[in-house]
Amino acid sequence: MARQRYWLEHVNFAGLGRSNVIPSGQAAAHASARRGNAPSTAIVNALQNEKRQFEEMILRLKKASPEERDALLESILVEDGSVKLKRSSPPPFTPSPLGPKKSNRETKSHHSDDDGISSDEDLDVLPFLSVDEGGKVDTFGPSSALQGPTKPVISKESPVTEHVRNQLIANAILQRQREHDIRCWQEIYGVPVELAIHLLDLHWNRQHHSFLLTYRPAVMRDLIQNGPYCSEFLMNAIFACSCKYSQRIEVRDNPVDPETAGGRFFARCDQILADQSLLNSSSIATLVGLLLLGSTYNALGQTSKGWLYTGYALRMVYDLGLHLDYKATTANAEDIEIRRRVFWGAFICDKLQSLYLGRPMAIHIRDTHVSRNFMDTMEEKELWTPYVDPRLPSDSLPAMPGTPTPIHSVTTFQQLCLLSKIMTKIINRFYVVGATAANARASLQSIDDALISWKDNLPSDLNFEPWSDNPLTAQARPAPNVMILNALYYSLVILLHRPFIADGHLRSAVAPASSWKRCTSAAKNITSIVLAYKSAYTLRGAAYLLSYAVYVACTIHVRNAAATDGSQPSENSSILSASLHSLDELSLPNSGVSKTASIIRKIMADNGLKLVSEPVIDIHSPSSLDLDAILRMFPSKSPTQGQQPNQPENFDQSYGMNPYGPEDLLYGTGAANGDGIRITCLLINLGLKEFS
């Protein structure tokens, strides 16, 4: 500790701290300045290299264990008042005999996804950009044979944050006023303007606030001016995705079948993709349209098409260089705002699809060095009310709230970005092929701490706890995106803790009662949120993401009900029934949800559970959970031949399958094929069906 304190107090790096000790590169720069000469390029590069080395050392010290920290400090040399860092890695430390021994490969993979610089704004993107003879900037990195020798021209205008923000907000307000001119048109890309406006209004009211993929000022301006951020394909994608929220018969191919809503727009999108060869080149408009369609196809149960469309879009993210951030100036403010929003929207879609389908993600944490500082905050305080179709008779509409509520669109999206980064770690540690028990145990506490920290730091306007006695967190009616954000958080708590109960060889390492209580509490919270959503807005227009959270909660409720129900239905059965009824209602706009509901019903039937009709009196009242009975329901597993009890093993060995791969009950609920075999595997993994 003495060495560490001396080093931190006496070393001046990256402009931090006060000290007379100056690293060698800075000393050269000071000497050059005293001579009256500007520092040379070599000196500037040396300073930048030293700054990077010190930043890397700080990060390593911060993440290191006490043994690693001592080794790192030993590698730092102080000679004649100058600090020198060894370029080679510090000597490895000897792991504690109390912990399991890891191979180099396992240790490396365990940390590889978290390596990187500390801030999303600190990445130097210049080495990854290239300019061709025509001046076009492209994204070819240093290893590419296509990278041109010319560095792209970067504007020397210094960013003026407040001025840029005001410019974007003012422009957004002006563009919103100009949107009314469109109502005078006859049609929009062949769609009668009244129907087109209806579907656009639904989009801006519902799907837009999920991921902020469509930057409204640019999309609507370029619809009028035929600019690059709007296209016939994007408009038809918006129309197609909005139709599931519309109650108009005219949007259906078959007037009596709600599942045919938007059929002609989906077909038109396919035709435009082929006729205009849109997959042969990348554009923001095409990318956003593909992401919207991919998410909607997943919600409708067409998972293969959703997977492929989203995959094309994620490739375009890299082709357009959206993973490389730029500094916003007055000259490029709108472009940077759009690039940041689309990148993070794509990042979130990628993670959610990975959970839905149980397939690998495409964008990793190491690729997320894009700022979440969204400059246009015009929608942040905008008042939101549910969309009301002016053509529907008033007596057919549900009772709508009379007081609008702030949408908090930007801050909710920023918090969703942060939560999706934690989601990435959960997927990588617990829900990928080859995930190991050792990595899972080593990661549990740090990821749990990250989730708790996220919740503790959530802005009060976004913290929704309808069960709370605190009126600030039990606000009567926040906007839907705020409710869904909180529901997603609790579903991640379940996704994190459930593997430590569902697999026998982890019970000895982690107290199962504690993990199951966390899962049960989180599941009840999800049910409380969805019932509050239902009471405020109905579930007819809810997003698919809420459906997944409710499904995750049902997987916990059904086990509690099966373990505690006797001849009389219990509180757990009542909570399960309320959640399952909500899942049924959510399947109206998202027909793919009916499959997940059938999985829960299959589990109930195998365990003799029946739906109860009594209302849930108090979801969060103390309930008697027989944890021993619940845990006995999980299939026991004896050590494999030649293996000692409690010896670390690979999850792939469990039950002859990988419980954290496609067969897991929570990971990959949307697979389209092999449903009969798949559901049987799901029941076995959940512990509600014995081997036959």
Per-residue pLDDT, averaged over 172-176, amounts to 96
Element holding 187 (H helix, E strand):
strand 187-188
Round to whole Å and give the CA distance between 560 and 575: 10
The two structure tokens encoding residue 118:
């500390």
CB 268 within 8 A of CB 236: yes
Per-residue pLDDT, averaged over 577-593, amounts to 92
DSSP-derived 3-state class of residue 448? helix
- Per-residue pLDDT band for 375 (boundaries 50, 70, 90) equals very high
Question: 317-331 pLDDT, tens per residue?
Answer: 999 999 998 777 777
Which residues have CB under 8 Å from 233's CB, separation 6+?
A: 269, 272, 273, 276, 278, 285, 286, 289
Q: Domain residues of the chain, as ranges?
A: 1-93, 127-156, 161-392, 408-434+446-615+643-686
Closest CA to 7 of 19, 15, 29, 46: 19
- Per-residue pLDDT band for 674 (boundaries 50, 70, 90) equals very low
> Averaging pLDDT over each range in 285-294, 369-378, 499-508, 531-540, which range is the top one?
285-294
The residue with greater pLDDT, 316 or 8, is 316
DSSP-derived 3-state class of residue 39? coil
- Per-residue pLDDT band for 101 (boundaries 50, 70, 90) equals very low
Mean pLDDT over each residue of the chain, to the nearest integer: 77
Question: 187-237 pLDDT, tens per residue?
Answer: 999 999 999 999 999 999 999 999 999 999 999 999 999 999 999 999 999
Please say whether the dihedral angle defined by the alpha carbons of residues 418, 419, 424 and 426, taken in this order, is positive or negative: positive
Count other C-beta atoms under 10 Å from residue 314's C-beta. 22
CB 386 within 8 A of CB 541: yes
Round to whole Å and give the CA distance between 183 and 630: 59
- Per-residue pLDDT band for 81 (boundaries 50, 70, 90) equals low
Find where tokens 């000679």 sit: 79
Return the pLDDT at 120.
54
CA dihedral 244, 557, 468, 530 (to 10 degrees): 10
**pLDDT over 80 at 295, yes or no:** yes
Q: Which of 292-306, 511-525, 567-581 has the lowest mean pLDDT?
A: 567-581
- Beta pairing partners, 188: 191
CB 306 within 8 A of CB 297: yes
Count other C-beta atoms under 10 Å from residue 416's C-beta. 26
Q: Which of 31-40, 77-86, 203-212, 278-287 has the lowest mean pLDDT?
A: 31-40
Instruction: Return the amino acid letter for 242.
Output: S
The angle at the Cα of 448, spanning 444 to 454, to the nearest 5 degrees, equals: 150
DSSP-derived 3-state class of residue 185? coil
**pLDDT over 90 at 353, yes or no:** yes
- Per-residue pLDDT band for 91 (boundaries 50, 70, 90) equals very low
Round to whole Å and give the CA distance between 149 and 138: 12
Return the pLDDT at 654.
30
CA dihedral 337, 339, 342, 348 (to 10 degrees): -100
Indicate whether this model's pTM tops 0.75: no
Round to whole Å and give the CA distance between 682 and 324: 40
Return the pLDDT at 126.
52
- Per-residue pLDDT band for 690 (boundaries 50, 70, 90) equals very low
Element holding 191 (H helix, E strand):
strand 191-192
**pLDDT over 60 at 2, yes or no:** no
The two structure tokens encoding residue 203:
């989009």
Question: 147-159 pLDDT, tens per residue?
Answer: 555 454 444 444 5
Question: 104-123 pLDDT, tens per residue?
Answer: 444 444 444 554 334 455 55
CB 387 within 8 A of CB 371: no
SS (H, E, C) 504-555: HHHCCCCCHHHHHHHHHHHHHHHHHHHHHHHHHHCCCCCCHHHHHHHHHHHH
DSSP-derived 3-state class of residue 670? coil
CB 240 within 8 A of CB 265: yes
**pLDDT over 90 at 361, yes or no:** yes
Return the pLDDT at 653.
33
Closest CA to 604 of 502, 519, 686, 662: 686
Return the pLDDT at 636.
45
